Amino acid sequence: MFNGKARMFLWLLIVLMCTELSAQDRWQGDMYMVPPRVFVGDRASLVLSMPDLSYPANTEINLSQVPASPNIDIHRVVLERRSGGNRLTIDFSAYAPGILEMPPITIAGETISGITITISSILDLETTVMVLSGTALPLAIPGTSLLVYGTIGAFVLVLLLALWAMLWGRRQLKDWLELWKRKRLISAMWRIEKRLRKELLKGGTRREILDVLSGEFRTFLSYFYQMNCRAMTASEFTTNVFEPISSFPGIFFGRCDWMRFSGSEINEDETLALLGEIKSFLRELDRAMRPASSSAIPAGSNSPGGE
* pLDDT tens per residue, range 198-238: 999 998 899 999 999 999 999 999 898 888 888 888 888 87
Q: In the predicted model, is pLDDT for residue 94 greater than 60?
A: yes
CB atoms within 10 A of CB 249: 23
Task: Flag whether pLDDT at 16 surpasses 60.
Answer: no
Strands 116-120 vs 98-101: parallel, antiparallel or unpaired? antiparallel
Query: Does 35 sit behind a cis peptide bond, omega within 30 degrees of 0 on the bond before it?
Result: yes
What is the reported pTM? 0.43
In 51-109, at which residue ranges do the beta strands (DSSP E only) sit?
Answer: 59-60, 72-80, 86-94, 98-101, 105-107
pLDDT for 11 equals: 61
- Say if CB 288 and CB 296 are below 8 A apart: yes
- The answer on pLDDT for 121 being more than 60 is yes
Domain 28-123, what architecture? Answer: Sandwich (2.60)
For the cut 80, the answer to whether the pLDDT of residue 180 exceeds it is: yes
Residue 15 banded pLDDT, cuts 50, 70, 90: very low
Helix axes 206-225, 248-261, angle to 10 degrees: 150
Task: Report the pLDDT value the prediction gives residue 52, as an integer from 0 to 100.
Answer: 62
Contact 110, 56 (CB under 8 A): no
Between 169 and 116, whose confidence is greater?
116
Q: Reduced to 3 DSSP states, what percent helix, strand and coil does the chain have, rounded to the nearest 5?
A: 50, 15, 35
Q: What is the pLDDT of residue 215?
A: 92
| HSE-up of residue 269 (Cα within 13 Å, Cβ side) | 0
Residue 243 has pLDDT above 70, yes or no: no
Q: What is the pLDDT of residue 57?
A: 61
> Do the strands 124-125 and 43-50 form a parallel or antiparallel pair, or are they unpaired?
unpaired
Quote the pLDDT of residue 3: 60
pLDDT at 299: 37
Boundaries of every domain in the chain = 28-123, 172-296
DSSP annotation of 166: I
Amino acid of residue 83 = S
Q: Is the pLDDT of residue 136 over 70?
A: no
